[in-house]
Structure 1
Protein backbone atom coordinates (compact mmCIF):
# COMPACT_ATOMS: atom_id res chain seq x y z
CA UNK A 1 0.00 0.00 0.00
CA UNK A 2 1.06 3.59 -0.42
CA UNK A 3 0.02 7.08 -1.31
CA UNK A 4 0.66 9.82 -3.80
CA UNK A 5 2.07 13.28 -3.16
CA UNK A 6 -0.19 16.18 -4.06
CA UNK A 7 2.17 17.71 -6.68
CA UNK A 8 2.22 14.37 -8.53
CA UNK A 9 -1.57 14.13 -8.44
CA UNK A 10 -1.81 17.73 -9.61
CA UNK A 11 0.42 17.01 -12.61
CA UNK A 12 -1.73 14.03 -13.60
CA UNK A 13 -4.92 16.09 -13.37
CA UNK A 14 -3.38 19.09 -15.13
CA UNK A 15 -2.25 16.89 -18.01
CA UNK A 16 -5.80 15.60 -18.45
CA UNK A 17 -7.31 19.10 -18.28
CA UNK A 18 -4.83 20.33 -20.90
CA UNK A 19 -5.52 17.33 -23.14
CA UNK A 20 -9.23 18.20 -23.08
CA UNK A 21 -8.47 21.76 -24.14
CA UNK A 22 -10.07 23.32 -21.07
CA UNK A 23 -8.81 26.90 -20.59
CA UNK A 24 -7.07 27.46 -17.25
CA UNK A 25 -5.98 30.80 -15.78
CA UNK A 26 -3.63 30.78 -12.81
CA UNK A 27 -2.64 33.40 -10.27
CA UNK A 28 -5.99 35.13 -9.82
CA UNK A 29 -9.06 34.95 -7.65
CA UNK A 30 -12.58 36.39 -7.57
CA UNK A 31 -13.32 39.95 -6.49
CA UNK A 32 -17.08 40.15 -7.13
CA UNK A 33 -20.04 37.93 -8.03
CA UNK A 34 -23.33 39.13 -9.52
CA UNK A 35 -26.06 36.54 -10.01
CA UNK A 36 -29.36 36.55 -11.86
CA UNK A 37 -31.75 33.82 -13.02
CA UNK A 38 -29.70 32.98 -16.12
CA UNK A 39 -26.09 33.11 -14.96
CA UNK A 40 -23.36 34.65 -12.81
CA UNK A 41 -21.23 37.69 -13.65
CA UNK A 42 -17.71 37.41 -12.23
CA UNK A 43 -15.09 40.09 -11.69
CA UNK A 44 -11.58 38.64 -11.33
CA UNK A 45 -8.67 40.03 -9.33
CA UNK A 46 -6.83 41.04 -12.52
CA UNK A 47 -9.72 43.32 -13.50
CA UNK A 48 -11.19 41.03 -16.16
CA UNK A 49 -14.84 39.95 -16.27
CA UNK A 50 -16.74 36.84 -17.33
CA UNK A 51 -20.25 35.43 -17.35
CA UNK A 52 -20.91 31.79 -16.52
CA UNK A 53 -23.81 29.37 -16.24
CA UNK A 54 -22.48 28.04 -12.91
CA UNK A 55 -19.75 29.16 -10.50
CA UNK A 56 -18.12 26.38 -8.45
CA UNK A 57 -16.18 27.55 -5.42
CA UNK A 58 -13.54 24.83 -5.09
CA UNK A 59 -11.01 27.30 -3.73
CA UNK A 60 -10.10 25.78 -0.40
CA UNK A 61 -10.59 26.34 3.29
CA UNK A 62 -10.19 30.12 2.91
CA UNK A 63 -12.57 30.22 -0.05
CA UNK A 64 -13.05 33.65 -1.62
CA UNK A 65 -16.21 32.43 -3.36
CA UNK A 66 -17.66 31.39 0.00
CA UNK A 67 -16.86 34.77 1.54
CA UNK A 68 -18.58 36.63 -1.31
CA UNK A 69 -21.64 34.41 -1.85
CA UNK A 70 -22.27 33.12 1.69
CA UNK A 71 -21.76 36.04 4.10
CA UNK A 72 -23.11 33.99 7.04
CA UNK A 73 -20.88 30.98 6.37
CA UNK A 74 -19.31 29.01 9.21
CA UNK A 75 -15.65 29.97 9.65
CA UNK A 76 -12.96 27.29 10.07
CA UNK A 77 -11.90 26.74 13.67
CA UNK A 78 -8.52 25.48 14.85
CA UNK A 79 -8.74 22.12 16.62
CA UNK A 80 -5.69 22.38 18.90
CA UNK A 81 -3.52 20.02 16.86
CA UNK A 82 -0.97 20.57 14.12
CA UNK A 83 0.25 18.19 11.45
CA UNK A 84 3.87 17.64 10.46
CA UNK A 85 4.53 16.33 6.96
CA UNK A 86 7.91 15.25 5.63
CA UNK A 87 8.96 13.75 2.30
CA UNK A 88 12.28 11.94 2.46
CA UNK A 89 14.34 8.98 1.27
CA UNK A 90 12.63 5.61 1.53
CA UNK A 91 14.50 3.16 3.78
CA UNK A 92 15.57 -0.16 2.31
CA UNK A 93 13.06 -2.95 2.96
CA UNK A 94 10.12 -0.64 3.70
CA UNK A 95 7.19 -2.60 2.23
CA UNK A 96 4.09 -1.55 4.19
CA UNK A 97 2.60 1.52 5.81
CA UNK A 98 3.20 2.01 9.53
CA UNK A 99 0.94 3.76 12.06
CA UNK A 100 1.72 4.61 15.69
CA UNK A 101 -1.24 5.57 17.88
CA UNK A 102 0.12 4.79 21.36
CA UNK A 103 2.44 7.79 21.62
CA UNK A 104 1.13 11.21 22.66
CA UNK A 105 2.02 12.30 19.13
CA UNK A 106 0.28 9.98 16.66
CA UNK A 107 2.46 9.36 13.61
CA UNK A 108 2.79 7.25 10.50
CA UNK A 109 4.77 6.42 7.39
CA UNK A 110 3.50 5.91 3.84
CA UNK A 111 5.37 4.87 0.72
CA UNK A 112 4.95 7.42 -2.08
CA UNK A 113 7.19 5.88 -4.73
CA UNK A 114 10.12 3.50 -5.16
CA UNK A 115 12.52 5.94 -3.48
CA UNK A 116 10.26 8.21 -1.43
CA UNK A 117 8.51 7.96 1.92
CA UNK A 118 6.03 10.32 3.55
CA UNK A 119 6.03 10.87 7.30
CA UNK A 120 3.18 12.51 9.20
CA UNK A 121 2.90 13.38 12.88
CA UNK A 122 0.18 15.09 14.92
CA UNK A 123 1.24 17.30 17.84
CA UNK A 124 -0.46 19.76 20.16
CA UNK A 125 -0.55 23.25 18.66
CA UNK A 126 -0.28 26.42 20.65
CA UNK A 127 -2.51 29.17 19.18
CA UNK A 128 -0.49 31.67 17.20
CA UNK A 129 2.63 29.49 17.09
CA UNK A 130 4.34 29.13 13.74
CA UNK A 131 7.58 27.55 12.56
CA UNK A 132 9.84 28.54 9.72
CA UNK A 133 11.12 25.78 7.46
CA UNK A 134 14.60 26.34 8.90
CA UNK A 135 13.29 25.65 12.42
CA UNK A 136 10.98 22.80 11.45
CA UNK A 137 13.53 20.06 10.70
CA UNK A 138 15.21 20.37 14.10
CA UNK A 139 11.89 20.52 15.94
CA UNK A 140 10.59 17.42 14.14
CA UNK A 141 13.74 15.49 15.03
CA UNK A 142 13.09 16.33 18.69
CA UNK A 143 9.44 15.29 18.44
CA UNK A 144 10.59 11.91 17.06
CA UNK A 145 13.08 11.31 19.89
CA UNK A 146 11.00 8.57 21.57
CA UNK A 147 10.52 6.47 18.44
CA UNK A 148 12.45 3.41 17.31
CA UNK A 149 12.36 1.26 14.20
CA UNK A 150 11.65 2.91 10.86
CA UNK A 151 10.63 6.19 12.48
CA UNK A 152 14.03 6.39 14.16
CA UNK A 153 15.73 5.64 10.85
CA UNK A 154 13.86 8.51 9.21
CA UNK A 155 14.71 10.82 12.13
CA UNK A 156 18.40 9.99 11.87
CA UNK A 157 18.62 10.13 8.08
CA UNK A 158 16.34 13.06 7.16
CA UNK A 159 18.14 16.11 5.83
CA UNK A 160 17.47 19.82 5.97
CA UNK A 161 16.86 19.70 2.21
CA UNK A 162 13.87 17.35 2.61
CA UNK A 163 10.45 18.92 1.99
CA UNK A 164 8.74 19.65 5.30
CA UNK A 165 5.48 21.29 6.30
CA UNK A 166 4.00 22.24 9.68
CA UNK A 167 0.42 23.41 9.73
CA UNK A 168 -2.21 23.98 12.43
CA UNK A 169 -5.34 21.92 11.84
CA UNK A 170 -8.72 23.56 11.34
CA UNK A 171 -12.13 22.23 10.36
CA UNK A 172 -15.70 23.24 9.59
CA UNK A 173 -18.73 22.11 7.63
CA UNK A 174 -21.18 24.50 6.02
CA UNK A 175 -24.89 23.86 6.60
CA UNK A 176 -26.85 22.32 3.77
CA UNK A 177 -27.37 23.59 1.10
CA UNK A 178 -23.90 24.58 -0.15
CA UNK A 179 -25.49 26.60 -2.91
CA UNK A 180 -27.22 29.86 -3.61
CA UNK A 181 -28.85 30.06 -7.01
CA UNK A 182 -26.14 29.17 -9.54
CA UNK A 183 -23.19 29.38 -7.12
CA UNK A 184 -22.05 26.23 -5.29
CA UNK A 185 -19.23 25.16 -2.96
CA UNK A 186 -17.08 22.04 -3.29
CA UNK A 187 -14.30 20.38 -1.27
CA UNK A 188 -12.65 22.29 1.58
CA UNK A 189 -14.67 25.37 0.72
CA UNK A 190 -17.72 23.48 1.99
CA UNK A 191 -16.33 20.88 4.42
CA UNK A 192 -12.73 21.33 5.54
CA UNK A 193 -11.56 18.39 7.62
CA UNK A 194 -8.52 17.27 9.56
CA UNK A 195 -6.41 14.36 8.23
CA UNK A 196 -7.45 11.72 10.79
CA UNK A 197 -9.46 9.68 8.26
CA UNK A 198 -7.17 10.59 5.34
CA UNK A 199 -10.29 11.51 3.38
CA UNK A 200 -10.15 15.24 2.61
CA UNK A 201 -9.01 15.00 -1.00
CA UNK A 202 -11.18 11.93 -1.54
CA UNK A 203 -14.28 13.80 -0.42
CA UNK A 204 -13.48 16.65 -2.83
CA UNK A 205 -13.14 14.18 -5.74
CA UNK A 206 -16.45 12.57 -4.76
CA UNK A 207 -18.04 16.04 -4.66
CA UNK A 208 -16.94 16.69 -8.24
CA UNK A 209 -18.30 13.37 -9.47
CA UNK A 210 -21.67 13.85 -7.77
CA UNK A 211 -21.92 17.46 -8.97
CA UNK A 212 -21.30 16.28 -12.52
CA UNK A 213 -23.95 13.60 -12.18
CA UNK A 214 -26.56 16.05 -10.93
CA UNK A 215 -25.81 18.67 -13.58
CA UNK A 216 -26.29 16.02 -16.28
CA UNK A 217 -29.92 15.42 -15.29
CA UNK A 218 -31.91 16.61 -18.29
CA UNK A 219 -34.78 19.06 -18.02
CA UNK A 220 -34.05 20.18 -14.47
CA UNK A 221 -33.26 23.78 -13.48
CA UNK A 222 -29.61 24.33 -12.63
CA UNK A 223 -30.41 25.57 -9.12
CA UNK A 224 -32.32 22.35 -8.40
CA UNK A 225 -29.38 20.26 -9.60
CA UNK A 226 -27.02 22.14 -7.31
CA UNK A 227 -29.32 21.61 -4.33
CA UNK A 228 -29.58 17.90 -5.19
CA UNK A 229 -25.78 17.68 -5.20
CA UNK A 230 -25.56 19.31 -1.78
CA UNK A 231 -28.24 17.04 -0.34
CA UNK A 232 -26.41 13.92 -1.55
CA UNK A 233 -23.08 15.02 -0.13
CA UNK A 234 -23.91 16.65 3.19
CA UNK A 235 -24.29 13.64 5.52
CA UNK A 236 -21.24 11.81 4.19
CA UNK A 237 -18.98 14.85 4.44
CA UNK A 238 -20.36 15.75 7.86
CA UNK A 239 -19.43 12.25 9.01
CA UNK A 240 -15.83 12.74 7.85
CA UNK A 241 -15.46 16.17 9.47
CA UNK A 242 -17.11 15.30 12.78
CA UNK A 243 -15.37 11.92 13.15
CA UNK A 244 -11.98 13.43 12.30
CA UNK A 245 -12.41 16.24 14.81
CA UNK A 246 -13.56 13.72 17.44
CA UNK A 247 -10.44 11.61 16.89
CA UNK A 248 -8.23 14.66 17.34
CA UNK A 249 -10.09 15.67 20.52
CA UNK A 250 -9.64 12.16 21.92
CA UNK A 251 -5.92 12.29 21.17
CA UNK A 252 -5.55 15.67 22.90
CA UNK A 253 -7.37 14.24 25.94
CA UNK A 254 -4.92 11.33 26.15
CA UNK A 255 -7.18 8.60 24.80
CA UNK A 256 -5.62 5.15 24.51
CA UNK A 257 -4.43 3.64 21.23
CA UNK A 258 -7.35 1.20 21.44
CA UNK A 259 -9.88 4.02 21.82
CA UNK A 260 -8.37 6.06 19.00
CA UNK A 261 -8.03 3.05 16.71
CA UNK A 262 -11.64 2.02 17.36
CA UNK A 263 -12.97 5.46 16.48
CA UNK A 264 -10.86 5.65 13.31
CA UNK A 265 -11.89 2.12 12.31
CA UNK A 266 -15.58 2.84 12.80
CA UNK A 267 -15.26 6.02 10.76
CA UNK A 268 -13.51 4.29 7.87
CA UNK A 269 -15.90 1.32 7.87
CA UNK A 270 -18.84 3.73 7.60
CA UNK A 271 -17.18 5.34 4.56
CA UNK A 272 -16.61 1.92 2.99
CA UNK A 273 -20.35 1.13 2.99
CA UNK A 274 -22.18 1.33 -0.32
CA UNK A 275 -22.79 4.93 -1.32
Structure 2
Protein backbone atom coordinates (compact mmCIF):
# COMPACT_ATOMS: atom_id res chain seq x y z
CA UNK A 1 0.00 0.00 0.00
CA UNK A 2 1.05 3.57 -0.51
CA UNK A 3 0.43 6.70 1.53
CA UNK A 4 1.21 10.10 0.03
CA UNK A 5 1.37 12.85 2.63
CA UNK A 6 0.81 16.48 1.72
CA UNK A 7 2.55 18.49 4.43
CA UNK A 8 4.31 21.80 4.89
CA UNK A 9 6.64 20.08 7.37
CA UNK A 10 7.96 16.86 5.78
CA UNK A 11 10.92 16.94 8.16
CA UNK A 12 8.59 15.93 11.00
CA UNK A 13 8.21 12.49 9.44
CA UNK A 14 11.92 11.64 9.08
CA UNK A 15 12.45 10.25 12.63
CA UNK A 16 9.00 8.67 12.66
CA UNK A 17 9.75 6.54 9.60
CA UNK A 18 13.00 5.09 10.96
CA UNK A 19 12.01 4.46 14.58
CA UNK A 20 10.21 1.69 16.44
CA UNK A 21 8.93 -1.66 15.30
CA UNK A 22 6.82 -0.21 12.47
CA UNK A 23 9.97 0.95 10.68
CA UNK A 24 10.03 -2.58 9.24
CA UNK A 25 6.90 -1.82 7.26
CA UNK A 26 8.40 1.34 5.75
CA UNK A 27 11.85 -0.15 5.10
CA UNK A 28 10.37 -3.21 3.38
CA UNK A 29 8.00 -1.15 1.26
CA UNK A 30 4.94 -2.90 2.69
CA UNK A 31 3.79 0.60 3.57
CA UNK A 32 5.23 3.02 1.02
CA UNK A 33 5.23 6.55 2.45
CA UNK A 34 5.95 9.52 0.19
CA UNK A 35 6.11 13.15 1.30
CA UNK A 36 4.94 16.11 -0.74
CA UNK A 37 5.35 19.77 0.19
CA UNK A 38 2.70 22.02 -1.39
CA UNK A 39 5.15 24.91 -1.17
CA UNK A 40 7.01 23.27 -4.05
CA UNK A 41 3.92 23.85 -6.20
CA UNK A 42 3.31 27.47 -5.21
CA UNK A 43 4.11 30.39 -7.50
CA UNK A 44 6.22 33.49 -6.95
CA UNK A 45 9.57 34.10 -5.30
CA UNK A 46 8.16 33.45 -1.84
CA UNK A 47 6.29 30.25 -2.75
CA UNK A 48 3.27 31.51 -0.87
CA UNK A 49 0.79 28.87 0.20
CA UNK A 50 -1.51 30.85 2.51
CA UNK A 51 -3.38 34.14 2.66
CA UNK A 52 -5.74 36.08 4.91
CA UNK A 53 -9.32 34.83 5.14
CA UNK A 54 -12.09 36.63 3.28
CA UNK A 55 -14.40 38.30 5.78
CA UNK A 56 -11.54 38.99 8.16
CA UNK A 57 -10.57 37.18 11.30
CA UNK A 58 -7.40 35.79 12.83
CA UNK A 59 -4.87 33.52 11.20
CA UNK A 60 -4.21 32.46 7.64
CA UNK A 61 -5.87 29.98 5.28
CA UNK A 62 -4.07 27.50 3.03
CA UNK A 63 -4.69 28.39 -0.61
CA UNK A 64 -6.45 26.00 -2.98
CA UNK A 65 -4.23 26.35 -6.05
CA UNK A 66 -0.89 25.10 -4.64
CA UNK A 67 -2.72 22.17 -3.09
CA UNK A 68 -4.42 21.37 -6.39
CA UNK A 69 -1.10 21.40 -8.23
CA UNK A 70 0.46 19.18 -5.56
CA UNK A 71 -2.43 16.73 -5.77
CA UNK A 72 -2.18 16.64 -9.57
CA UNK A 73 1.51 15.77 -9.27
CA UNK A 74 0.70 12.93 -6.87
CA UNK A 75 -1.98 11.56 -9.19
CA UNK A 76 0.46 11.72 -12.11
CA UNK A 77 3.09 9.88 -10.07
CA UNK A 78 0.56 7.19 -9.21
CA UNK A 79 -0.32 6.79 -12.88
CA UNK A 80 3.35 6.56 -13.89
CA UNK A 81 4.05 3.93 -11.22
CA UNK A 82 1.05 1.74 -12.10
CA UNK A 83 1.51 -1.40 -14.16
CA UNK A 84 0.38 -0.97 -17.80
CA UNK A 85 -2.46 -3.48 -17.41
CA UNK A 86 -3.50 -2.36 -13.92
CA UNK A 87 -6.98 -0.99 -13.40
CA UNK A 88 -6.91 2.72 -12.62
CA UNK A 89 -8.34 3.24 -9.16
CA UNK A 90 -7.77 6.63 -7.58
CA UNK A 91 -6.95 6.35 -3.87
CA UNK A 92 -9.00 8.65 -1.63
CA UNK A 93 -7.86 12.03 -0.38
CA UNK A 94 -8.12 12.17 3.41
CA UNK A 95 -8.28 15.37 5.45
CA UNK A 96 -7.87 15.36 9.21
CA UNK A 97 -10.43 17.78 10.61
CA UNK A 98 -12.81 18.35 13.56
CA UNK A 99 -15.84 17.31 11.50
CA UNK A 100 -14.30 13.98 10.53
CA UNK A 101 -15.39 10.56 11.71
CA UNK A 102 -13.46 9.44 14.79
CA UNK A 103 -10.79 6.92 13.91
CA UNK A 104 -11.19 3.57 15.68
CA UNK A 105 -9.88 0.00 15.41
CA UNK A 106 -12.45 -1.00 12.80
CA UNK A 107 -11.56 2.02 10.70
CA UNK A 108 -7.84 1.30 10.96
CA UNK A 109 -8.44 -2.32 9.92
CA UNK A 110 -10.25 -1.07 6.85
CA UNK A 111 -7.36 1.20 5.86
CA UNK A 112 -4.89 -1.62 6.57
CA UNK A 113 -6.65 -3.82 4.02
CA UNK A 114 -6.80 -1.12 1.34
CA UNK A 115 -4.41 0.34 -1.23
CA UNK A 116 -3.55 3.44 0.81
CA UNK A 117 -4.55 7.09 0.59
CA UNK A 118 -3.42 10.65 0.07
CA UNK A 119 -3.26 12.28 3.50
CA UNK A 120 -3.72 16.04 3.58
CA UNK A 121 -2.23 17.73 6.64
CA UNK A 122 -3.86 21.11 7.18
CA UNK A 123 -2.23 24.02 9.00
CA UNK A 124 -3.08 27.52 10.23
CA UNK A 125 -6.81 28.31 10.37
CA UNK A 126 -7.58 25.65 7.81
CA UNK A 127 -7.83 24.99 4.08
CA UNK A 128 -9.81 26.88 1.46
CA UNK A 129 -13.20 25.13 1.49
CA UNK A 130 -13.31 25.06 -2.29
CA UNK A 131 -10.39 22.63 -2.39
CA UNK A 132 -12.07 20.46 0.22
CA UNK A 133 -15.32 20.43 -1.74
CA UNK A 134 -13.54 19.60 -4.99
CA UNK A 135 -11.01 17.00 -3.89
CA UNK A 136 -11.40 15.61 -0.36
CA UNK A 137 -13.12 12.23 -0.17
CA UNK A 138 -12.86 11.37 3.53
CA UNK A 139 -12.46 13.40 6.71
CA UNK A 140 -11.10 11.80 9.89
CA UNK A 141 -10.57 12.94 13.47
CA UNK A 142 -8.55 11.65 16.41
CA UNK A 143 -11.01 13.11 18.91
CA UNK A 144 -12.65 16.26 20.19
CA UNK A 145 -9.55 18.41 20.52
CA UNK A 146 -7.53 20.64 18.19
CA UNK A 147 -3.95 20.11 17.04
CA UNK A 148 -1.70 22.60 15.28
CA UNK A 149 -1.68 20.51 12.12
CA UNK A 150 -2.58 17.21 10.51
CA UNK A 151 0.86 15.66 10.76
CA UNK A 152 0.28 13.93 14.11
CA UNK A 153 -3.04 12.37 12.98
CA UNK A 154 -1.34 11.25 9.76
CA UNK A 155 1.41 9.55 11.78
CA UNK A 156 -1.19 7.96 14.04
CA UNK A 157 -3.07 6.46 11.09
CA UNK A 158 0.06 5.21 9.34
CA UNK A 159 1.48 3.71 12.54
CA UNK A 160 -1.79 1.92 13.31
CA UNK A 161 -1.99 0.59 9.75
CA UNK A 162 1.68 -0.45 9.60
CA UNK A 163 1.55 -2.58 12.75
CA UNK A 164 -1.24 -4.67 11.21
CA UNK A 165 0.86 -5.66 8.21
CA UNK A 166 2.21 -9.26 8.16
CA UNK A 167 5.67 -9.62 9.67
CA UNK A 168 5.89 -6.13 11.13
CA UNK A 169 5.34 -7.09 14.76
CA UNK A 170 7.75 -9.55 16.33
CA UNK A 171 4.87 -11.88 17.23
CA UNK A 172 2.38 -12.49 14.43
CA UNK A 173 -0.45 -12.81 16.97
CA UNK A 174 0.35 -9.64 18.92
CA UNK A 175 -2.28 -7.41 17.39
CA UNK A 176 -4.98 -10.09 17.61
CA UNK A 177 -5.29 -9.39 21.33
CA UNK A 178 -5.22 -5.60 20.99
CA UNK A 179 -7.75 -3.51 22.82
CA UNK A 180 -10.84 -2.72 20.73
CA UNK A 181 -10.27 -5.58 18.27
CA UNK A 182 -13.77 -6.40 16.94
CA UNK A 183 -12.50 -9.70 15.52
CA UNK A 184 -12.01 -10.81 19.14
CA UNK A 185 -14.68 -9.10 21.23
CA UNK A 186 -13.86 -5.38 21.20
CA UNK A 187 -12.89 -5.29 24.89
CA UNK A 188 -9.85 -3.70 26.51
CA UNK A 189 -6.65 -5.71 26.89
CA UNK A 190 -5.68 -7.24 30.25
CA UNK A 191 -2.79 -6.03 32.46
CA UNK A 192 0.70 -7.37 31.72
CA UNK A 193 3.62 -8.21 34.03
CA UNK A 194 7.28 -9.19 33.69
CA UNK A 195 10.31 -9.80 35.93
CA UNK A 196 10.89 -9.46 38.83
CA UNK A 197 8.08 -11.41 40.50
CA UNK A 198 7.97 -8.84 43.33
CA UNK A 199 8.64 -5.14 42.85
CA UNK A 200 8.23 -2.30 45.37
CA UNK A 201 6.09 -4.51 47.57
CA UNK A 202 3.81 -5.50 44.70
CA UNK A 203 3.63 -9.11 43.54
CA UNK A 204 2.71 -10.54 40.17
CA UNK A 205 -0.81 -12.06 40.36
CA UNK A 206 -0.56 -15.70 41.36
CA UNK A 207 -2.44 -17.17 38.36
CA UNK A 208 0.25 -15.85 36.00
CA UNK A 209 2.89 -17.81 37.92
CA UNK A 210 0.87 -21.02 38.14
CA UNK A 211 1.96 -22.52 34.82
CA UNK A 212 -1.65 -23.62 34.38
CA UNK A 213 -2.67 -22.34 30.95
CA UNK A 214 -6.41 -22.63 31.47
CA UNK A 215 -6.16 -20.74 34.77
CA UNK A 216 -4.01 -18.05 33.16
CA UNK A 217 -6.45 -17.57 30.29
CA UNK A 218 -9.38 -17.47 32.71
CA UNK A 219 -7.62 -14.78 34.78
CA UNK A 220 -6.82 -12.73 31.69
CA UNK A 221 -10.39 -12.97 30.46
CA UNK A 222 -11.75 -11.84 33.82
CA UNK A 223 -9.31 -8.93 33.94
CA UNK A 224 -10.33 -7.80 30.45
CA UNK A 225 -13.97 -7.88 31.50
CA UNK A 226 -13.35 -6.06 34.79
CA UNK A 227 -11.22 -3.33 33.22
CA UNK A 228 -13.67 -2.79 30.40
CA UNK A 229 -16.70 -2.70 32.69
CA UNK A 230 -14.94 -0.21 34.93
CA UNK A 231 -13.50 2.13 32.31
CA UNK A 232 -15.45 1.57 29.08
CA UNK A 233 -18.88 0.09 29.86
CA UNK A 234 -19.99 1.05 26.36
CA UNK A 235 -17.69 -1.66 25.00
CA UNK A 236 -19.34 -4.20 27.28
CA UNK A 237 -22.73 -3.17 25.90
CA UNK A 238 -21.46 -3.51 22.34
CA UNK A 239 -20.01 -6.98 22.99
CA UNK A 240 -23.24 -8.05 24.69
CA UNK A 241 -25.33 -6.82 21.76
CA UNK A 242 -23.23 -8.98 19.43
CA UNK A 243 -23.61 -12.05 21.63
CA UNK A 244 -19.91 -12.15 22.51
CA UNK A 245 -20.32 -12.50 26.27
CA UNK A 246 -20.84 -15.91 27.85
CA UNK A 247 -22.81 -16.56 31.03
CA UNK A 248 -19.49 -16.75 32.89
CA UNK A 249 -18.52 -13.37 31.40
CA UNK A 250 -21.82 -11.85 32.50
CA UNK A 251 -21.23 -13.13 36.02
CA UNK A 252 -17.85 -11.37 36.13
CA UNK A 253 -19.43 -8.14 34.89
CA UNK A 254 -22.23 -8.44 37.43
CA UNK A 255 -19.73 -8.90 40.28
CA UNK A 256 -17.82 -5.85 39.07
CA UNK A 257 -21.07 -3.85 39.17
CA UNK A 258 -21.84 -5.15 42.66
CA UNK A 259 -24.89 -7.07 41.46
CA UNK A 260 -23.65 -10.42 42.77
Instruction: Establish whether TM, by shorter chain, passes 0.5.
Output: no
The bucket for the TM-score relative to the shorter chain is under 0.3
- TM-score, normalised with respect to structure 1: 0.24
- TM-score, normalised with respect to structure 2: 0.25
Structure number with the higher strand fraction is: 1
